[in-house]
A and B are shown apart, each in its own frame.
Chain A
Amino acid sequence: MHDARNLDGAGIPPLVVASTAFMQAAEVQSKALGYEPTMVWVTHPIQDRTDEELRTIADNAFEEVVAKLTASQ
């Protein structure tokens, strides 16, 4: 979150990709920092997935990532 805010403040619009397990932490940090980055959520869990499964998750998220990199905020 800090990295996203720092980049955003300096001219680079960021997109944060996170698993849904991060949702609560994201909300708390956003509120504390006064900053809400653009998010792309992927399904949890991540840690115990195979490489193949992770690549599929990335493929499924790709179009949303592309769209949100250029979407108006």
Chain B
Amino acid sequence: MPTQALPDGLVAVVKRDCPTCVLVEPVLRQLAAAGTLCVLTQDDPTFPEGMASVIDDTGLERSYGLGIETVPTLLRIEQGRETTRAVGWHRGEWEGVSGVRALGVDLPDYRPGCGSLTTDPNTADELAIRLGGFTFKSRKVEIGSHEDEHEACFDRDWSDGLPVVPPTAVRVYRMLQGTRRDPKEILGLMPPDYEPCTVEKVAANAVMAGCRPEYMPVVIAAVEAVLDEPFSIHAVVATTMFVGPIVIVNGPVRKALGMNSGVNALGQGNRANSTIGRALQLVVRNVGGGKPGGVDRSTLGTPGKLGFCFAENEEDSCWEPLSVERGVAPGTSAVTLFAGAGVRGIVDQTSRTPESLARSFAACLNGTLHPKLFGGLDSIVVISPEHLRVFREAGWSKRRFIAELMDLTTVPVEDIAIGVGGMTPGMPPREPGAKVAKFRQDGLYVVHAGGIAGMFSAILDGWSPSSSSRITTRVVRD
């Protein structure tokens, strides 16, 4: 490895905070007396004391360039290039590298060294950015020391209303280590501004959301799903209705990230659940530019628009996971994106038969958006363990359950005609006996999640009969 302007001869790399480096101080003096020795000090330029050619390498630039992992390291430089090195103190090796005999005769024959400061976890990433040639494609924003960096993020309108983790260069670099994807890769153009959304931008927003680097593959998959044409993210952001993107995670990645599919699965408290959903919304908001008061005209919105992500409980389910329903091979990690509103509860603590329980579900489903608004809707049913038990014990498959729900939510038009019940909304009149289905064909999906106690399931309402957003599934890749 070429060295930057180090003279031919010997180079020793040391730090004061290393007992072995202190031990070999007399050896360094011997070598200095015997020929050319240059000492690079990593932490304290006054160590070793009283020697002529000590170079202050507290910036670690030379140590980084030489690939030093241990101190002390002794190198021989000939014609500007390293020819050999000894790592730690070993008399035989040091005599070999230096060509000087009888080194450190009062010292033990060998002593292992300490870690070089270039390998310190706190500095390694900073060095990779400063010295390792890693460059960010994104614009840099400088925050002066008089400005609080958290307030700075609020002031620049990067926040969803809650504090964000300031996306420093080191944090974004670390976040990028969570994926093998090239930071410069463009995942797509994010509406409504149609700006390129790079992996690097996803990482910056994932930092702000509070993600760990290992969440990146899931966040990236969610962003890719949202950028898929059928999901219609532009329309999802711009609608006056409630919806926001809901992320449902399947496969081994759930356990790898410690996601929650049990107690309070749709609620707060789990870092992966909370921050993955949030990272997606921050990407949509910051890269795409769709914000409340601007393109986002949602009349009421929902708390889920801060972020809504949870994992399906596959292990305790007798039904196939949502991802498998959507065509992904079993055992493959995937995210499914659904444009959904809030959480509507189905409270049925007394039904013992699948028929009765299915009717409870259907009665609640008929209320999606409005009890008299039918045709072309979609929803996701989140079925809890206690409710699933009723269907499992009766031997119902998921397919049968959904078919039953579709049937029970298909009603005579005259029951929900305009004006019926004293309410204007409803269906225009049709021929006698005509029926109308509440949901689109393939508009009802079922996911299993929740704590083991509680006969409560939930409906995640879809958007509207004229919604252009389609449920979208994407495989998670490293």
Residues of A at the B interface (CB closer than 8 Å) are 5, 9, 32-35
Contacts and interface: CB of A to CB of B under 8 A. Distances in A.
B146 A34 contact: no
Contacts of A34: 141, 152, 155-156
A5 B144 contact: no
Nearest to B141: A34
A5 B155 CA distance: 9
A32 B144 CA distance: 6
Interface of B: 141, 144, 146-147, 152, 155-156
B164 to A, nearest CB: 15
B95 to A, nearest CB: 58
A33 B146 CA distance: 10
Contacts of A5: 155
Contacts of A32: 144, 146-147
Contacts of A9: 155
A31 B152 CA distance: 12
Closest 9 CB pairs of A and B: A32-B144, A34-B156, A32-B147, A34-B155, A5-B155, A9-B155, A33-B155, A33-B147, A34-B141
Nearest to A5: B155
8 contacts: A5-B155, A32-B144, A32-B146, A33-B147, A33-B155, A34-B152, A34-B155, A34-B156
A33 B156 CA distance: 9
Contacts of B141: 34
A9 B141 CA distance: 19
Nearest to B147: A32
Contacts of B147: 32-33
A35 B144 CA distance: 13
Contacts of B144: 32
A47 B367 CA distance: 71
